[in-house]
């Protein structure tokens, strides 16, 4: 898995992205504070000081991971939200997109870092992240509003949204691929729990 040749500065076009990817995996698995930069460097075949050529501080790495995490979830769910023709179909497409980002191979470590390690960010970076997160959650608030208008949900308050986010985001803690249930089945079960008609 690790390339044994010695990379040089001109070698890869985007070493920075590789670092972010490796960092996301290690932050997700061992936590930000418990991950030495040396481990991230080794994961991308660098020497221990070299990541600092791409990032000024370790915090900047975390910031990059967290922002990329919320950005790709946001992108995927926005796109899904455009496709539904009914409030219910829209909602179900959004559920599926959100879960695919959280549980899929590509975004899983970004999402886990975003959800569990963001509190290590400095206040400025945290504020930036919260701004993105608020914009993202507004998509859900809108979807809930339309479900209420069409009579498929009784309450579209902020608390409802937060409880829904909890049910979704908590899947990161227990979902295992090859664990019997597909992501699509879980999405369907959530909509079955929340929506009235069938």
Partner DNA sequence: CCTACCGATCGGTAGG
Crossing angle of helices 108-117 and 87-103, rounded to 10°: 90
Residue 76 beta carbon to DNA: minimum distance, rounded to whole angstroms: 28
DSSP annotation of 175 reads -
Asked whether position 194 contacts its own copies by CB under 8 A, the answer is yes
- Which residue in 5, 159, 176, 178 binds its own copies (CB under 8 A)? 159
Applying CB under 7 A, does 6 fall inside the site for DNA? Answer: yes
What's the residue count for the chain? Answer: 198
CA–CA dist 97, 81 (Å, integer): 9
Give every CB contact of residue 108 below 8 A, 6+ residues apart in sequence.
28, 102, 172
Residues 23-52 that bind DNA (CB under 7 A): 35-38, 41, 45-50, 52
The entry of DNA, its own copies, none near residue 112 (CB within 5 to 8 angstroms by kind) is none
User: For the window 93-132, what string marks contact with its own copies as x by the rule CB under 8 A?
Assistant: -----------------------x--xx------------
User: How many degrees, rounded to 5, is the angle at CA 80 between CA 189 and CA 117?
Assistant: 75
The answer to whether residues 64 and 40 touch, using CB atoms and an 8 Å cutoff, is: no
- 9's tokens: 């500065």
Max Cα–Cα distance, the chain, nearest Å: 62
Answer with the entry of DNA, its own copies, none that 24 interacts with (C-beta below 5 to 8 A by kind). none
Assigned token pair, 192: 């079955």
Q: Among all chains, which residue has been given the structure tokens 């076009």?
A: 13
Taking the complex as a whole, how short is the minimal distance between the CB of residue 172 and its own copies, in angstroms?
Answer: 9
**Cα–Cα distance, 102 to 95 (Å, whole number):** 11
> Which residue's CB is nearer to its own copies, number 8 or number 173?
173
CB of 16 to DNA, least distance (A): 7
3-class state of residue 181 by DSSP: coil
Find the binding residues for DNA in span 53-82 (CB under 7 A).
53-54, 56-59
7 touching DNA, by CB under 7 A: yes
In the complex, the residues that contact its own copies under the rule CB under 8 A are: 31-34, 116, 119-120, 154-155, 157, 159-160, 162-171, 173-174, 181, 185-186, 189-190, 192-194
Binding site for DNA (CB under 7 A): 6-9, 11-12, 15-16, 35-38, 41, 45-50, 52-54, 56-59
């Amino acid at each position: 898995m690790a390339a044994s040749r010695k990379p040089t500065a001109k070698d890869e076009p985007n070493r920075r992205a590789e670092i972010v990817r490796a960092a996301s995996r290690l932050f997700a698995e061992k936590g930000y504070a418990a991950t030495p930069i040396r481990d991230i460097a080794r994961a991308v075949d660098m020497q221990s000081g070299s990541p600092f050529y791409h990032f000024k501080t370790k915090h900047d790495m975390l910031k990059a991971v967290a922002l990329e995490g919320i950005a790709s979830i946001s992108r995927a769910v926005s796109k899904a939200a455009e496709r539904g023709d009914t409030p219910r179909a829209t909602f179900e497409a959004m559920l599926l997109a959100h879960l695919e980002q959280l549980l899929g191979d590509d975004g899983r470590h970004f999402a886990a870092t975003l959800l569990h390690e963001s509190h290590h960010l400095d206040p400025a970076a945290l504020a930036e992240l919260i701004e993105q997160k608020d914009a993202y959650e507004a998509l859900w608030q809108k979807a809930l509003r339309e479900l209420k208008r069409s009579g498929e949900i009784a309450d579209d308050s902020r608390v409802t949204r937060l409880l829904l986010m909890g049910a979704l985001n908590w899947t990161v803690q227990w979902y295992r691929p090859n664990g019997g249930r597909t992501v699509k089945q879980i999405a369907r079960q959530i909509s079955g729990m929340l929506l009235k008609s069938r």
